[in-house]
Amino acid sequence: METMFLNRGLRIIGAIYNSPTVVLTKRPAPTLEALKGMKVRTFASPLQIEPMKAIGAIPVPLALTEVIPQLQSGGLDGMLAGMPILTAFKYYDVARFVTDLNFAQIITVNVINEAWFQKQPKDVQEAIRAAGRAAEQQAFPWGVNNVQKTNELWLANKGEILKLPTQEQASMMQTFVSLGTNIVAQNPVVKAEMEKLQALVDAKRPK
């Protein structure tokens, strides 16, 4: 994965796990039917916009700073996010319900400028690589634990965490995988990157 973005002048030195994607809502959404017609804040990305359309929600790309005022005024009914973001900004004060859609994992990729990297002595390059990998390994268990802690914090502040029925979750994931595959296939560069990532994941799977 380290060399995936060299053609963009970037070198990956680590990937940090954050959390699964959940949907925050002002009223309970224990089923996909309950999400229909809801105005849900998304990133301005087809990989979030199209899945929301597919389940009947209305995607609203919006800056994070505008979400709370829009939730308060009725301009939004919910948002896609990770639980660490929702607890950090105390979203439980404006919307109590979270449905754990868990259709995508939020990952932070740490990158450095490749031109700068190549100007460093070999021993410095190796130290940078080693530091990136060490941070990655230390941060992963912290990230997993942080999801549990933020879930507990949400519940402690009178929030609720809901899950879809098992069959509905499986059907949704099948739809989302098909959608995502089609979206990625439309961009040859992104498709090639996705195939590299898939190959890396497949290589690490237990035999």
Q: What angle do CA 183, 85, 83 make, to 5 degrees?
A: 80
| Rg of the chain taking only CA atoms, in angstroms | 19
For residues 84 and 90, what is the distance between their CA atoms, to the nearest angstrom? 10
Distance in angstroms between the alpha carbons of the first and the last residue of the chain: 21
Domain boundaries, the chain: 6-113+153-204
Residue 34: what are its φ and ψ, rounded to 5°?
A: -70, -20
The neighbour count for residue 61, using CB atoms within 10 Å, is 11
Q: Is the pLDDT of residue 24 over 80?
A: yes
Q: What is the pLDDT of residues 112-164, one digit of tens each?
A: 999 999 999 999 999 999 999 999 999 999 999 999 999 999 999 999 999 99
The residue written with tokens 């950090």 in the block is 88
pTM metric for this prediction: 0.88
Binning pLDDT at 50, 70 and 90, where does residue 197 land?
Answer: confident
Q: Is the pLDDT of residue 207 over 80?
A: no
Nearest to 35 by CA among 87, 105, 100: 100
Binning pLDDT at 50, 70 and 90, where does residue 196 land?
Answer: confident
User: 6-113+153-204: what CATH class?
Assistant: alpha beta
What is the reported pLDDT for 51?
Answer: 96
